[in-house]
Amino acid sequence: MRKFIIDTDTGSDDAAAIIIAALNRNIDLLGVTTVAGNVSVEQATKNALMTLEVCEADAPVYIGAGCPLLSERKETISVHGADGMGDCGIINPKRSAQTKRAVDFILDTVSEYPDEVELVVLGPATNIALAVLTDRETMKKAKHIWSMGTPGFGPGNATPVAEFNVFIDAEAYAVMLESGIPITIAGFDLCTGKTGLGKKELAALAGGNKIGKFLERATSQLLQFKLNTRQTYMVDLPDALAMAAALWDGFVLDSVNCYCKCCTQRNETHGQVIFYRQDRTYEAVSDMYKANAEVITEVDENLFIEKLIQLMV
Ligand code: RIB
Ligand code: CA
């Protein structure tokens, strides 16, 4: 059975990703680690615990980094609401997090199951970078990283060139990219097509099972944000797309191998990831860099919506 760890700054799209994994009987969800990003690490931990509880899943939750590797925590607007989950009072978990720290859990688990553990990284990559910096050789035994990060080949959502997860901890993303662990990236550009939940899908969730109802409420502030800023009745779920890429056969239709370079300078490029596509020739780059990630370029949008809704109605 495939073995997974989810690393998450649990907002509502992380919750959708956790739901996909928690309801999948063909994988072993060994644990969930939390990190500051959408919300504080304490709030992310409560949100992860609550999401698992709604799914009746008992995966342990481990608290991770409360701030990026090299900077203070940046206070950003949470598009998912102040609690990251729609601000409608649905976060009252009964369970608590484990006392072991997230980084120790990640390292111990990779050590226990060499070449088997797949990490789905849905927030800033701080915990992963800390694990790599603590014990690089052990982390090389991680089987795969599925990352929601970068704008893909579209514009940024945190700045014109940077996607939120990478922008929040660019140094950590750079460490993760250079870790030598095989990485697949689901960028934010995958959200721009028909992978969002519209009126029909949100109504289906609202009338669905308890998990559907939970997710519909958790995404309500995100919907409000989209209505206010884009006049669009739509909720996008970038983290759920990364999870679908990891778990659902036939979902990823195309991808390209790239050398990905994360810009860490504190200027306008902070958090930008430059993709040197291996299927292109660059006139000023004579020695092509070796690919360090596979970047998804096309997914089956209909399959995503169908399978996601099926889980919750
Ligand atoms: O840019 C989208 C990403 O930032 C998602 O992971 C979302 O949850 C936030 O963390
Ligand atoms: Ca996230």
Domain residue ranges of the chain, discontinuous segments joined by +: 2-312
CA 285 to centroid of ligand 1, rounded, Å:
32
Average pLDDT (86-106) is 98
pLDDT digits (tens, 9 = 90+) for 71-84: 888 777 678 999 99
pLDDT (average), residues 57-73: 95
User: Using the 8-state DSSP alphabet, how is residue 190 labeled?
Assistant: G
Among 8, 10, 13, the mutation site with the greatest number of ligand 1 atoms within 8 A of its Cβ is 13
User: How far is the centre of ligand 2, averaged over its atoms, from the C-alpha of 281 (Å)?
Assistant: 33
Q: Give the C-alpha distances (Å, rounded to integers) separating 128 from 172, 181, 231.
A: 8, 11, 36
Closest-CA residue, ligand 1 atom 10, reads 123
pLDDT in tens, 155-165: 999 999 999 99
Average pLDDT, the chain: 96
- Ligand closest in space to the Cα of 84: 1
What would the two tokens of residue 136 be? 């690089």
**What is 2-312's CATH number, 3.30.465.10, 3.90.245.10, 3.40.640.10, 3.40.50.620?**
3.90.245.10
Furthest CA-CA distance within the chain? 58
